[in-house]
Amino acid sequence: MDKIQTLQQYIDESQRIVFFGGAGVSTESGIKDFRGVDGLYHQKYKYNPETILSHSFFLSHTDDFFEFYQDKIVQPTLHAKPNAAHYKLAQLEQVGKLTAVVTQNIDGLHQLAGSRNVLELHGTIHRNYCTKCGQQYPLEAVSQAEGIPRCQCGGILKPDVVLYEEPLDETVISKTVQAISQADLLIVGGTSLTVYPAASFLDFYQGNRLVVINLNVTSYDDKAALTINGKIGEVLDQIKL
Ligand code: NAD
Ligand code: ZN
């Protein structure tokens, strides 16, 4: 039996599927990942993305932070559309087979494709708030700003994304742990599994059907019942409901 058929059988036999994904889920929508071959780490910047997207850098180099954030994250996402992976996951939820999408992505494409229970471990670019008065702002307040986006009160806006050095949201963590520990099938895709604590939540899975779909090898391949080396959109597109 080929690997796609095995995945199809796993999905057919499951009722509480959880999908756990990362930046690789959105590359087929035209948004670059960090660590893939064309990813942002392979480009030349004054600082690497991990430095720029850190809490201390946001405070100390706010203008450089927003230059990178605007060019590399916000603007490419504004025009991005969900791909076959996002749509198939939304459909699996609609037919009652998938309980949650856990994502490290901040682009909002799962919701755009129709997914409802999306646990955004690293927050979202779609929420922003004033660091001085707390006023909430939509993405447009950042995407249309020139330079540092500011509140009417003069305070600097901060995207509600989890920067390096910042803790994850407790509510999102507990929902993630609950969903994964109750899953009968855990599909992991498009993530290097190198960002912690996000990757550590996979350890709460108690079933014996871990599936990893990635373009390259990950540190969880050994634990997987099935590994598929391929593009996640092309793989999930072949799954029938
Ligand atoms: P990563 O860049 O570390 O790893 C992406 C992985 O996906 C790589 O192993 C790559 O080989 C694989 N990949 C790329 N395209 C793929 C495809 N079409 N099909 C299957 N696999 C594919 O990403 P990460 O593990 O998510 O960690 C990076 C961090 O950066 C995360 O915290 C995330 O929040 C953030 N990030 C988010 C976005 C986004 O929101 N779209 C984009 C870049 C980075
Ligand atoms: Zn304000």
Tens digits of residue pLDDT in 185-232: 999 999 999 999 999 999 999 999 999 999 999 999 999 999 999 999
Could you tell me the distance, in angstroms and rounded to a whole number, from the CA of residue 220 to the centre of ligand 1? 15
CB 69 within 8 A of CB 159: yes
pTM of the shown model? 0.96
**Per-residue pLDDT tens for 65-87?**
999 999 999 999 999 999 999 99
**Per-residue pLDDT tens for 123-139?**
999 999 999 999 999 99
DSSP annotation of 132: T
User: By three-state DSSP, how is residue 181 classified?
Assistant: helix
Could you tell me the distance, in angstroms and rounded to a whole number, from the CA of residue 21 to the centre of ligand 1? 8
* Both tokens assigned to 76: 């490419």
**Per-residue pLDDT tens for 33-63?**
987 666 777 776 788 888 999 999 999 999 9
Active site residue 79: no
How many CA atoms are closer than 13 Å to the CA of 115, on its beta-carbon side? 27
In this structure, the residue with its CA closest to atom 32 of ligand 1 is: 104
